[in-house]
Amino acid sequence: MNPLTGKQYGTTFPVVSVNDMVRAQFLLLNHLGIQKVHASVGSSLGGMCSLTAAVLYPERVDRIVSISACAWSHPSSIAMRYLQRKCIMTDANWNKGHYYDGPFPKLGMKLAREIGTMTYRSGPEWDTRFGRKRIDPNQKEQSLCPTFLIESYLEHQGEIFSTKFDPNSLLYISKAMDLFDISEDFGSLHEGLSRIQCPVMVIGVQTDILFPIWQQRELAQVLQEAGNNAVTFYELNSIYGHDTFLLDLNGVGAGVKGFLETHLKETGWLTKTSKDVKVNFSHTKNCVYY
Mean pLDDT by 10 residues, the chain (290 residues): 94 97 98 97 97 98 97 96 98 97 96 96 91 90 91 95 94 98 95 96 96 97 95 93 92 91 56 41 32
Contacts 24+ apart (CB under 8 A), 30-34: none
Q: Which residues are catalytic?
A: 44, 208, 242
State residue 261's pLDDT score.
Answer: 87
Of 264, 234, 252, whose CA–CA distance to 63 is shortest?
Answer: 264
Distance of alpha carbon 288 from alpha carbon 211, whole angstroms: 24
State residue 280's pLDDT score.
Answer: 36
In contact, 206 and 238? CB cutoff 8 Å: yes
Cite the beta strand spans of 212-288 per DSSP E.
Answer: 231-236, 268-272, 277-279
pTM of the model: 0.87
Q: What is the dihedral of CA 263, 265, 271, 277, to 10 degrees?
A: -60
State residue 263's pLDDT score.
Answer: 63
